[in-house]
Chain A
């Protein structure tokens, strides 16, 4: 069994080792998950959210420990860690705890007049053991959002964290607050090969957050078993800035959107389009403010930009920027590592980058933006939609009608207007992408429902009555159906009278035996 070293991403010291999980172990994990699912299925949503509340409280109590562990493994700045990994999780936990009973309550739906006397409803049922595979950029947040949602819906969970940031033991420790739910969540450590074994055991559904490349692999493996998959993949998010904005605030938003978590967010701003009239002023303010950003990790909360968590990601960032430089783009700020022996990439602004450069076509996932001017609304819509990604975007303008018009035209799953990366700040809003950014939604009612399957229920009364459309079929019934259709779907004021007459006739005809 191969040991995988988990490193402090800043010092590169090995913190501990994890091992791949064997096929036998994986099988046993699923056996247990299926067994526990039977028990969990018997609980009501109210009972489950009461248990989730205990876990939520445990997270609240241990927030500093969580921040510490996340910082150690990711190298992110302390404030990034507390805001996204603690505050974000608590915010979502509170939302799911208070909204699950409502969203998952049996839903009555209307019954058409042709089915008069019957009742219809939908049950939102749990799926079974679901497999959640999480990335390294928000290792606690993405884990807990997925786990909370799955448990709220009544599923048991097999969770595989990234081998880069497994946070070994942390999730298990939080789950201990609820013995019931603790049994329903198994954290499985390992790399891609472990993930493959986990898929082979046919989870009820797979929720993957990560790169498009891995997403495709998972989807094709899952296709063999017809396992439904939701994919939250990368982005190349655009920020569209019209010339009627407050420059200082928009620049501040741009920097945060681009640099938070050192740009290692799938919804990081990566491409900035600024309307010609304010382009120069915007760029110079952006340069001025970038100089104020403090890089560090292991801080007490004062550092703005932390480290790049995964060394392979640092390679991608360096490669993209270096190639852009060689191909004639202008690096106006940054463009290099702070020091070759530390994972801190300088906040970087690139001008004159073109679509044939990877820094424009591929996801960068680092503290890097390209910036370019545009003239008109349609132009920026076309140019910024010209990407295979479609996760989220932001539109900045005083003219809210225009902003909304542009928001509708952008081929993405979320748009913040006059703010940035904020749709994910509201747990009630769905989160997910279009195009190569994946499909399916997490968070919001849609996200919760995505962890369930809908069961349709129609209730009729017990009686001796034979339905009109049941056998036997007769010529008389055929004629009456004709009149009935004409009455029900035709035009004219007398249709309801005709409907009633044909309905009564049809019903009485239906009670007669053949011949």
Chain B
């Protein structure tokens, strides 16, 4: 199907009832075709597939964090968007409103059934769906999504592993998630310990170049075939799911950073 977005000027026209869970069929009146040059690759969007994946996840999981980990991998695999497009909150506002309302409401509604508007229209890590996609993109290692459920194991882990500047550097986001969730063989950190570690990492990075850990990883070929291909519902719910064969991480860099973060956490 065509790719659309919700222009920012339409955000205020989303009715209050929608944020309380009422269907909003009029989204078709607000959306606009995505015409800008962000669609540089042969990106194809399958809204029905997104909706089916969301429904399946809601059927399987009651635990919200487990649901996030499961959905993140599959939504990333189903929405093969270039980062240029995935960096546009207007695109994610459309996806969240038109295809993922059930998930947004189930995952983020308060005791009164209300969801903050920014779970639909907010920045990338606030929008409920974009948050999942970006979480998967930021910690995948080439085609491997192994660490994605780890990042979403706790809301605070996702927050600290994904939202800070060091998170943009894939090996750092991965190492942080491994350490705080105890996937390096060490102890799992409490929320307070996680916060303290993040503070320390930020402080040390004023003197230490994160990029030093990844020297030599530049210049990797883009997996055009993967990004421009389609995926089926069956392969997303039955088979082993593999991401693009690009964005590989230097295992040595992740190990080094993991060791360093563990020392800082001690």
Chain B associates with chain A: no
Residue positions of A touching B, CB distance < 8 A: none
